[in-house]
Amino acid sequence: MINVPSIDLNNVKDTHELAKKIAQKIRSGMLIYLSGDLGSGKTTFARDLIHELGFDGIVKSPSYSLVEQYTFDTYTVNHFDLYRFRSPEEWHEAGFNEFINRENINLIEWPEKGDPYLPVSDLIINFYYISSDKRKVLITASSPKGVECIKELM
């Protein structure tokens, strides 16, 4: 595991810039966990990342649907939000592991709610609420793909 020194996000533009940098390095098959308290910036980052990957439509929050899918030419981005899970078994029961493969990019908000059923991620991005417009981010790479993705951030 490799950690990036903490990154200060002083406004939504900084969040967008971080998403842009990661989108430029992301590869098919990557699994990215987005952790943090409510309002810490997970969904904003996910929206920015999906747009930076080339999606031109509305990126909806999967809070109620649990997963939203965005199809590109060679892969699909699956954006999960596990906040409403009552137990980790819901991940397994829903069959969501089938979405995790070598082609799809998967973003999972609230991954701790699916533990221990979730596969090991390539990146873990932890968001910390500082103030109404400031956030702090800690990024951990836990695979060679993850390390390659954040190399320029270190």
Residue 20 confidence class, pLDDT cut points 50, 70, 90: very high
Report the number of distinct structural domains present in the chain.
1
- Domain with 10, as residue range(s), is 2-153
Provide the CATH number for the domain around residue 130.
3.40.50.300
Rounded Cα–Cα distance for residues 111 and 81 (Å): 8
Rounded Cα–Cα distance for residues 5 and 135 (Å): 14
80 forms beta bridges with 67, 108
pLDDT, mean of residues 70-74: 92
The pTM of the full predicted model, rounded to 2 decimals, is: 0.93
Most confident residue range from 31-35, 70-74, 92-96, 114-118: 31-35
The answer to whether 112 and 88 are in contact (CB under 8 A) is: no
Give all strands (DSSP E) within the chain, no chain letters: 2-9, 31-36, 67-71, 76-81, 105-109, 123-129, 135-141
pLDDT surpasses 90 at 48? yes
pLDDT surpasses 90 at 30? yes
Report the pLDDT value the prediction gives residue 92, as an integer from 0 to 100. 87
Rounded Cα–Cα distance for residues 108 and 144 (Å): 19
pLDDT surpasses 70 at 154? no
The answer to whether 50 and 70 are in contact (CB under 8 A) is: yes
